[in-house]
Structure 1
Amino acid sequence: MNWLVGSFAFLAVALGVAGSGVGDDFKRFRGADATGVAEDHPGLPATWDKETNVAWVVDVPGQGWGSPIVIGDRVFVSSVVADEANTPPQGGLYLGEGVRDPAKGVHHWMVYCFDLGSGNELWKHEAHTGRPVVPRHPKSSYAAETPATDGERLYVLFGDLGLYCYGLDGELLWSRMIDPKKTNMDYGAAASPVVHAGQVFVVYDNKEESWIASFDTRTGDSDLADAT
């Protein structure tokens, strides 16, 4: 199983796995069966830190709470970069309080692709540029969802912004914008997309009009949408 450790502001890949080409791809949040458990492989190290048993490390600008995914020799991850400093995450409780206003400054909603073997950046795409229109809790992020792939296309969801479909070489194939809504304590959207049987399934849980929808993987057409 291709296995990696991700964090912002760095993305690190375990030594002995990068470029090995062994095992299945990691195509979605928590893996193929959503258990978060990868098949064992003798190349996986038992211990690691930022230097030990690490094949490469690359800086990823901005903030993103989603996990990286792997398809073939490529690693995909999303992030949002702000032009102005905002309230950073802090330890402890917030007593149920989020924030009342959207984050300051122009933001850049980014998608990155790295080579699994070397960590070299293969491409990046700026999905959207603008000012956030809904608040975000300091312990959350405007890029909280993990991307997904069916092996042919990449699906990147920015929860209260839109769903973006790319070719694996970085070409934007289609996008569907989302009408942003108020979320509980401003934590924001965080449900990662799931791909099944030619459809991309998206859940938008919010305090105004929650919904679940599916989109055709090839065209982005919506075949199902239900408010709850």
Structure 2
Amino acid sequence: MSHLRFPRLAIFCLLSCCLGESAPAANWPDFRGPDGDGRATAARLPLSWSETENVKWKSKLPGQGWSTPVAWDDQLWMTSAEDDGKSLLVLCVGSDGKVRHRVKVFTVKKPAPINGLNSHASPSPVIEAGRVYVHFGTNGTACLDTATG
């Protein structure tokens, strides 16, 4: 279901531009950014991009997710679900595009039914210095150390 991957991939690529060498690193701690308005204040952000234009790197990530990635220093954090929602993951990708942490936070025996256009990894993480918080509905909420996952 590639339509589930596109919004996360597009946001992921945009945030990776914010963390690139041409722009100063900016923290994006939650769904709508540092000011809650969805606007990035970094200088020289690209106005357009494609599969190759203004893309510093790409990373193939496991599972499916619908959440917005969050950024702190040189880390991008996001949630993902594998095995039809039985494995709920937290992923951290560095500013070089390499996966730094892949943490299975919950194993679900019988995932709740969801809309076919959705994913079991829909709520966006929230991050602050040293901690990232994730929520997976009735399956639970977790806090991870950003240094160790």
**One fold, TM greater than 0.5?**
yes
2:145 to 167, 174, 177: 167
**8 Å CA contact 1:9, 1:59 repeated in 2:** no
The structural deviation recorded for 1:156 is 0.8
CA deviations on 1:27-54 (whole Å, 9 max, x unpaired) are 0011122211111412x11210111110
1:34 to 33, 36, 55: 36
CA distance in 1, matches of 2:60, 2:10: 5
| Aligned-pair identity (%) | 26
Partner in structure 1 of residue 90 of structure 2: 111
CA deviations on 1:81-116 (whole Å, 9 max, x unpaired) are 11xxxxxxxxxxxxxxxxxxxx6xx72101111111
1:24 to 7, 13, 26: 26
Instruction: Report the secondary structure of 2:132's partner residue.
Output: strand
Counterpart mapping for 1:93-112 below 5 A: 107-112=86-91
TM-score normalised per structure 1: 0.56
Cα gap change, 1:6 to 1:76, in 2 (>3 Å): farther
Which 4+ stretches in 1 moved above 6 angstroms?
none
Residue 50 (structure 2) pairs with residue 71 (structure 1): no
Instruction: Report the secondary structure of 1:79's partner residue.
Output: strand
Q: Which has the higher helix share?
A: 2
Instruction: Report the secondary structure of 1:54's partner residue.
Output: coil
CA distance in 2, matches of 1:133, 1:23: 37
CA distance in 1, matches of 2:111, 2:50: 38
The structural deviation recorded for 1:6 is 5.9
Cα gap change, 1:132 to 1:34, in 2 (>3 Å): farther
Which letter maps to 1:25?
Answer: N
CA deviations on 1:146-168 (whole Å, 9 max, x unpaired) are 10012121101112211100101
Residue 116 (structure 2) pairs with residue 143 (structure 1): no
Which structure 2 segments of 5+ residues have no match? 1-5
The structural deviation recorded for 1:140 is 1.6
Cα gap change, 1:165 to 1:19, in 2 (>3 Å): farther
CA distance in 2, matches of 1:80, 1:125: 11
The structural deviation recorded for 1:132 is 3.2
TM-score normalised per structure 2: 0.83
CA deviations on 1:58-90 (whole Å, 9 max, x unpaired) are 1112111101111001111110011xxxxxxxx
**8 Å CA contact 1:8, 1:62 repeated in 2:** no
CA distance in 2, matches of 1:61, 1:48: 23
Q: RCO higher in 1 or 2 (8 Å CA, sep ≥ 6)?
A: 2
Instruction: Report the secondary structure of 1:164's partner residue.
Output: strand
CA RMSD of aligned residues (A): 2.5
Aligned residues: 143
Cα gap change, 1:23 to 1:113, in 2 (>3 Å): closer
Which letter maps to 1:37?
Answer: R
Which letter maps to 2:94?
Answer: D
**8 Å CA contact 2:18, 2:24 repeated in 1:** no
CA distance in 2, matches of 1:112, 1:60: 8
